Every structure is written in structure tokens, then in C-alpha cells.
Amino acid sequence: MTLQELKPEIRSIVSQPKLSVDHKLLQICKLLEAHVDYYNWVGFYFKNGDKDELKLGPYVGEPTDHTIIPFGKGICGQVAVSNQNFVVPDVAAQDNYIACSITVKAEIVVPVFVNGENVGQIDIDSNTPDPFTEADERFLEFVCKEVAKLIS
């Protein structure tokens, strides 16, 4: 499936009335990981209450020890502060990178906004060097807008 073909699937998951928010988020992770070859770890992090940290939400991929990430630390923590997409073509070239797995070569993180506030983000790791394009950014912005509807 192309990224464009995945959009109606995302909308369908979001609109399921009987599923919990976490179940919908997990379904989104599974869909993306299964249908985009270079998405090897797909997960959500959300602001942890009033703390300046992120807490791991639903995800698909290798288990991670990074269940809490302080604002400013790693790619996810930097996005929590900058409120901007962060595309990392080569994680080895990043000074402020938290390694989840030695197989990860690239990462993309896109924030989720609710009423203008950065409440979380989608985080995708790839075992492929420099796979993410502007099309991935636009698609993940769409995903985050749909996710925002679940948690607003």
C-alpha cells in the first residue's frame, strides 16, 4: 500500500466506536509497520501529565527500555521542546540520540497537537539508511491530526 492508500485505513481505525484509544493507536502502529517496508518500529509517546517528560504509549517493534524520555533528550525529547518534525537520515550522526537498537539507521518524529499544544508524537525507526521523504512527513502529519481527534 502507498502512503496515500493508507489514509482511509487510518480514518477507519480512528472512527471505530467500540475500540479504546490505546487499541486504536496500536492498530495504527500495526498498520504502518506492516505496510511501509522501511517502518521497523512505530510507536507513540505522550506528555506524562504535568511532568516535562514523555511516556511511551502503544507501539509495534522491538521492546524498548525507553518508556520515559525527559524533554530535550533524544529525538523525541527534542521534538517535545521544538514542536517541529525531526527527520534523522543517519542516527549515528546525531549527538543527542537515544539508541533503542543497533539495527536502527534513521528516525522520524512528528508531533501531535491538540488545540495548539504538543501533547505527544509518533516515532518511527528505520533499519534503512535515509529512507524518509517529504511524503512521509506529510503522511505522518495527517496521521497525527487523526490521532489528535482521539485524544482531544
Average pLDDT taken over every residue of the chain? 95
Measured between alpha carbons, how far is 39 from 127 in angstroms, rounded to an integer?
A: 8
Cell numbers found for residue 111: 508531533
Examine the pLDDT at 111 and tell me if it is beyond 70. yes
Examine the pLDDT at 114 and tell me if it is beyond 80. yes
pLDDT band at 100 (very low <50, low <70, confident <90, very high): low
Q: Domain 3-151 maps to which CATH number in 3.40.640.10, 3.40.50.300, 3.40.50.720, 3.30.450.40? A: 3.30.450.40
Residue carrying C-alpha cell 511516556: 55
Say what the pLDDT of residue 94 is.
81
Average pLDDT estimate for 36-63: 97
Q: What's the CA dihedral at 121, 67, 65, 84 to 10 degrees?
A: 20
Overall residue count recorded for the chain in this entry:
152
**Whole-prediction pTM value?**
0.96
Name residues whose C-beta falls within 8 Å of residue 121's C-beta, 6 or more positions apart in sequence: 44, 45, 54, 76, 79, 80, 109, 110, 111, 112, 144
Examine the pLDDT at 101 and tell me if it is beyond 80. no
Task: Break the chain into its structural domains and give their ranges.
Answer: 3-151
Examine the pLDDT at 149 and tell me if it is beyond 80. yes
Average pLDDT estimate for 94-118: 88
Average pLDDT estimate for 95-108: 82
- The neighbouring-strand residues paired with 121 are 45, 111
